[in-house]
């Protein structure tokens, strides 16, 4: 995912038309037009995909501090390869929020359902006391209890763009929780 995001970021330019999936990012940041510095905590932000979109849409003159919260391994790899231009990686919500000081926006897209307990992670995000909270691509269920299952996908389906050369595509499985 880190390599895919690096390729995506490096190929992104105003001359390239953004896909409709980029609208999520633009809607999320759209509520903060007048801020001199936009401070975002991106929970489950992978390799910084949404940061790349925001940087392109907002332009280089807009100050952006974008802290991605990911697994320890992904935060370490992202920090080594992708940090810079306002983008940092953390492996917990508290450290990411503390680094920002004040959080304008908590952004999470298709991440809560991959935590062991989505509602407790939502409580951690609410505890940040951000001015805005944007949750997208988060499935729920209307049963009395949460539903836990196993999702199967191709490795290439994770992160933006095609697989980098030298990487093999294979099926991966991971738990998914549909909170009630």
102 φ, ψ (degrees, to nearest 5): -105, 140
Give the range among 32-41, 63-72, 123-132, 151-160 with minimum mean pLDDT.
Answer: 32-41
User: What was the pLDDT predicted at 61?
Assistant: 81
Categorize the per-residue pLDDT at 173 as very low, low, confident or very high, splitting at 50, 70 and 90: very high
| Segment 113-123, tens digit of pLDDT | 999 999 999 99
In the chain, DSSP assigns E strands to 37-43, 63-69, 87-90, 105-109, 132-136, 147-154, 171-178
Percentage of the chain modeled with pLDDT above 90: 61
Confidence check: pLDDT of 31 > 80: no
When the candidates are 3.30.70.2740, 3.40.140.80, 3.40.50.11540, 3.40.50.150, the CATH number that belongs to 2-139 is 3.40.50.150
| Per-residue pLDDT reduced to its tens digit, 91-119 | 999 999 999 999 999 999 999 999 999 99
Q: Tell me what pLDDT residue 16 has.
A: 67
Average pLDDT of the segment spanning 113-137: 95
Which contacts (CB < 8 Å, 24+ apart) does range 91-94 have? Answer: 93/41, 93/43, 93/69, 93/121, 93/124, 93/125, 93/127, 93/128, 94/124
| HSE-CB for 108 with a 13 A CA cutoff | 23
The strand pairing partners of 105, in sequence order, are: 40, 132
Q: pTM for the whole thing?
A: 0.89
Distance between terminal CA atoms of the chain? 29
Q: Is 57 helix (H, G, I), strand (E, B) or coil?
A: helix
């Amino acid at each position: 995912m880190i390599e895919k995001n690096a390729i995506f970021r490096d190929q992104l330019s105003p001359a390239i038309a953004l896909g409709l999936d980029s609208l999520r990012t633009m809607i999320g940041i759209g509520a903060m037009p007048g801020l001199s510095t936009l401070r975002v905590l991106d929970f489950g932000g992978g390799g910084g995909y949404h940061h790349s979109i925001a940087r392109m849409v907002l332009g280089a003159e807009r100050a952006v501090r974008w802290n991605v919260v990911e697994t320890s391994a992904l935060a370490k790899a992202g920090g080594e390869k992708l940090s810079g231009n306002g983008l940092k990686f953390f492996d917990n919500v508290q450290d990411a929020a503390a680094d920002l000081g004040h959080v304008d926006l908590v952004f999470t897209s298709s991440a809560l359902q991959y935590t062991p307990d989505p509602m407790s992670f939502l409580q951690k995000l609410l505890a940040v006391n951000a001015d805005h909270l944007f949750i997208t691509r988060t499935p729920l269920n209307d049963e009395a209890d949460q539903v836990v299952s196993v999702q199967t996908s191709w490795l290439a389906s994770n992160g933006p763009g095609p697989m980098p050369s030298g990487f093999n595509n294979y099926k991966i499985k991971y738990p998914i929780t549909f909170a009630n």
